[in-house]
Chains A and B, each alone.
Chain A
């Protein structure tokens, strides 16, 4: 099974606006849209990024890693409501099946942006790099 990593370079995430449609040069197999980052108080060291990842290819795509230059670490987390408790768990990967889309949104999946190097301002745009792995059909 041939697996090759794909880099998506600097797709732009608007802090307060719905976001940008971004197409990968290799035939627009993966589209990331409606990306946004939650504005937090200046003293907050962490925040969350949300987006919709559309997999238009015939193979599954797995998000394995992400990074940004405005923070030390980016992790994948999932929020789940269990009764009246919100449970948060870290995931090591996020799978987007072939021909499907995955929404990262509040109370569900998000990218946790951890240890910001500086407070983010409302309206600011930050780059987040997603590292995706493609399987074969």
Chain B
């Protein structure tokens, strides 16, 4: 009788402890980012070349040691691009001293309308640290393709003439030029900042 009671009690206690440990494991956050297969396939060379709005040439490999937040868009975008830019400005405000190690890079997929001057003025409005990149359609398409992003220029009856549908992912590239994380629309500035801090700690 006594032994049976002891056995029952100890197995219940053990089960409870295991459940609590499992529950803790499930709720642990943030997830440690790893170079998963998807990210590793994105621009493994860790380099690309485009032109800054200042006219200077920009090569990703010249910026080793910096964490780069890269995304594609265009200045006539009504919704997503202003929101992403505002979000990244917020992210940078959460990073404090770590901002020195971080670069935000915006590549236009509308070089026809987004002149260097327009790009600079647009980006400065949200955060004057953001680097705007443009180039020929071929140069830009090469980078878009390398990061497996996409965009479509849609001619329509709108007074806009055409609109551009584009992927809205923000790529986190680490100090070695490797893509480490893909941020989506619903990722909060706080989450992005905390993942950047983890990556920076590893630089």
Q: Do the two chains belong together in a single complex?
A: yes
Q: Does A15 contact B (CB under 8 A)?
A: no
Beyond A41-B75, A90-B163, 11 extra complex contacts between A and B, CB < 8 Å: A41-B124, A42-B125, A46-B76, A47-B78, A75-B158, A79-B79, A79-B80, A86-B166, A87-B165, A107-B79, A110-B78
B:171-200 near A, CB below 8 Å: 184-185
- Report B-chain residues with C-beta under 8 Å of the C-beta of A79: 78-80
CB distance from B188 to the nearest CB of A (A): 15
Query: Which residue of the partner chain, among A45, A75, A84, A107, contacts B76 with CB atoms under 8 Å?
Result: A45
B94: Cβ under 8 A from any A Cβ: no
- Measured between alpha carbons, how far is A115 from B76 in the docked complex, in Å? 11
Q: Which residue of B lies closest to A72 (CB)?
A: B159
Chain A residues with CB below 8 A from B163, complex form: 88, 90
Enumerate chain B interface residues (CB-CB to A < 8 A). 75-76, 78-80, 82-83, 118, 121-122, 124-126, 150, 154, 156-160, 163, 165-169, 184-185
| Structural contact, B159 and A40, CB atoms closer than 8 A | no
Chain A neighbourhood of B157, CB < 8 A:
90
Chain A residues with Cβ below 8 Å from B126 are 41
| CA gap between A75 and B79 in the complex, in Å | 14
Q: A72-B159, A106-B79 are in contact. Are A85 and B118 (CB under 8 A)?
A: no
Pick the 3 closest A-B CB pairs, nearest first: A41-B125, A48-B78, A73-B159
Taken together as a complex, chains A and B put the C-alpha atoms of A4 and B160 apart, in Å, by: 30
Quick check: is A12 within 8 A (CB to CB) of the other chain? no
Report yes or no: A86 in contact with B165, Cβ–Cβ below 8 A: yes
Binding site for B on A (CB under 8 A): 38, 40-48, 72-73, 75, 77, 79, 81, 83-90, 106-107, 110, 112, 114-115
Question: Is B75 touching A44 in the complex (CB atoms < 8 A)?
Answer: yes
Contacts of B166 in A (CB 8 A): 85-86
With contacts A46-B160, A106-B79, A107-B79 taken as known, whether A84 is within 8 angstroms of B125 at the C-beta atoms is no
Question: Bound state CA distance, A72 and B82, in angstroms?
Answer: 22
Set A41, A44, A81, A112: member contacting B160, Cβ < 8 A = A112
In the bound complex, residues from chain A placing their C-beta under 8 Å from that of B158 are: 75, 77, 90, 112, 114
Residues A107 and B185 in contact, CB atoms below 8 Å apart: yes
Q: How far is the CA of A112 from the CA of B158 in the complex (A)?
A: 10
Per the bound structure, the CA–CA distance linking A110 and B160 in Å amounts to 15
